[in-house]
A and B are shown apart, each in its own frame.
Chain A
Amino acid sequence: MPSPAYHAPDTIEQAVALLAGDAGARPLSGGTDLIVQMRSGRTAPSSLVDLKRIAGMKGIRASPDGGFAIGAATPCTALKDDKALSAAWPGVVEAANLIGSVQVRNRATMAGNLCNASPAADSVPALVAAGATCLVAGPSGTREVPVEEIPAAPGRTSLQPGEFVAEIRLPAQKGSDAYLRSIPRTEMDIAVVGAGVSLVVDANGTCTAARVSIGAVAPTVLLVEDAGAALVGSKFDDAALDRMAEAVRAACKPIADKRGTVEYRTAMAGVLAKRVVKIALERAGVSA
């Protein structure tokens, strides 16, 4: 197997051209999945297009609408260092900072986590719950896509040839969010189950909007609309939480593998969903 070509373009246009010009090309940002896959022989790209030297690809910008635009090559630890982002979207920032170790998070990016298309990706349920979108750059310009539409199947995305995720966009925070995962150790694991939630609560403590997302229980991360709907209009009473957890469990279609059984994953999705709602409520200043 010849060694792949390595390119470090300066502009998005150059990157698109390089990716479009070689069907075996792969974008490289943090590389924490790609390099491991190359070494194990699971993937053998013919060229690597390093996005990190493109201006604007690293860093976090406040959007005019109160949201955030996060460059695709921004490492997870940089999210934590951004005080405004951490205050607005603590669930997203925490989820991204559960991936691997500090060493890994100093390289790994949310865009990479998303495009690796693992159903167990930690940052993705949090992003989906948050209603995040991606700015996708490609041969025909850019388009904005909801995060949940990027993964198509384990290891496969809906991105077209020559396309790559250039930016992740978070809306303005109107409520609060949280993410939890289940792993056998305290760190350095792949989620057996992950659950993210984003809530909006009115002054009376009533839920006016809720998005619940779960990971590692289906071929892709799921947005469970029924689970969110179960919370909307409630004051997070036990019955509403039970309905929400039931909707979450009903949405699970996990596999059994070395990391967990079907039964355990399904049950934990419900348990974690309840726990993240409680954390998000605490963050919203509501006692459940």
Chain B
Amino acid sequence: MSKLLVSTTVNGDPQQFLCDPDTTLLDALREEMGLTGSKEGCGSGDCGACTVVLDGEMVCSCLVLAPEAEGRQIATIEGVAEGSQLHPVQRKFLEHGALQCGFCTPGFIMASKALLDRNPNPSESEVRYWLAGNLCRCTGYDKIVRAVMDAAAELRQDRRTAA
């Protein structure tokens, strides 16, 4: 079986890679493109550590086949900061100590940003249910939820200021 050539866009940049048809997008990102910020915690969609945004929707990249990325837009943790300017979600995670080991953090940031992109004013309960697909074993979620709520408040403030 020969490999497939996949042309896709990752964090706004064109990318081409070769893969076996049953390679996951997660493995392609990590092994073919060197983007190891997306993590494998389970390989079965149960932990969310590999969360990326595919054509505007967050997905577990371990549950996407790499060939499916053909012609699609992929956003990963490596593209969240603009240059050296952290996204408010990233900054709030740091300011709240919302990470301990940090392994689940890229997935949480991708999921949290996806939430705030669609709902700028989530309730605590909405945050918790939205993030239920991301496992964190270190923090007990308290500081993560606070960081996301705080990032939402700051983003709302920014929007008001900009308006």
Contact = CB atoms under 8 A, between A and B. Distances in A.
B63 A31 contact: yes
A100 B45 contact: yes
Q: Is the interface of B mostly helix, strand, loop or mixed?
A: mixed
A75 B22 CA distance: 21
A5 B133 contact: no
A187 B67 CA distance: 30
A35 B57 contact: no
Contacts of B48: 101, 103
A77 B63 CA distance: 16
A100 to B, nearest CB: 6
A52 interface: yes
Contact of A107 (B64, B70, B129): B64
Contacts of A48: 21-22, 65
B45 A103 contact: yes
Nearest to A188: B132
A133 interface: no
A31 B65 contact: yes
A63 B127 CA distance: 35
A156 to B, nearest CB: 22
Interface of A: 2-6, 8, 28, 30-32, 35-36, 38-40, 48, 50, 52, 75, 77, 100-104, 106-107, 186-188
Interface of B: 1, 4, 20-24, 43-46, 48, 51, 54, 57-60, 62-65, 67-68, 70, 111, 114, 129-130, 132-134
6 nearest A-B pairs in the assembled complex, by CB-CB distance: A101-B133, A6-B21, A187-B132, A3-B20, A106-B57, A103-B60
